[in-house]
Amino acid sequence: MGIKTIKTELKSAGVTYKIECTARNKTFILDEPEELGGSDGGMNPGEALLSALGGCKYIVAKMFYQKFDINLIKISIEMEGEIDLDALTNKANGNNKNQDIRVGFTKITTRWFVDANNTKEEIEKFISFVDAHCPMLDTLSNPPEFITEICDKKS
């Protein structure tokens, strides 16, 4: 299959921080909760990132469980990320004495709930395979080259 380019488009969906995200012919809304100045019209970007990572792991697990002879009955995942909500504001305002403070997630935890007729060791081996083959985990663990382009107004 080779290299495939995936493209999304994001544009304002109203007041405050509400954003309409479109890929192919699929759309969803990103927003911030009211306590962070948004209108709570959708997940915030951090929640969406955790969902994308968890969703990728889930899809890889569903693609390969039979290869590992996992007698899968049911599988679900909880994702949890730790982020310093004051870091961005403080850093942008120059209030942070520690300029090395991260504005992004400092820890991400995946909790697997696997109902299968397999041993714990078999499930652990399978989950290790999933993590090693999850494209979104690979992207976060080995960041790609980031390019920023400033373009003219879109018509």
Encode pLDDT of 36-53 as tens digits. Answer: 899 999 999 999 999 999
pTM greater than 0.85 (yes/no) = yes
pLDDT-wise least confident of 56-60, 97-101, 131-135, 141-145? 97-101
pLDDT of residue 61: 98
pLDDT of residue 14: 85
pLDDT of residue 151: 94
Please list the alpha-helical segments (H only) found in 104-150: 120-132, 135-141
pLDDT digit string (tens) for 69-89? Answer: 999 999 999 999 999 888 877
- pLDDT grade for 1, boundaries at 50, 70 and 90: confident
| pLDDT average, residue stretch 5-10 | 96
Does residue 100 register a pLDDT over 80?
Answer: no
Can you read off the two tokens belonging to residue 12? 């304002």
Give the burial string for 101-138 (b: 16+ CB within 10 Å, else e): eebeeeebebebebebebeeebbeebbebbbeebebbe
Of the candidates 5, 2, 30, 41, the residue with the CA atom closest to the CA atom of residue 147: 5
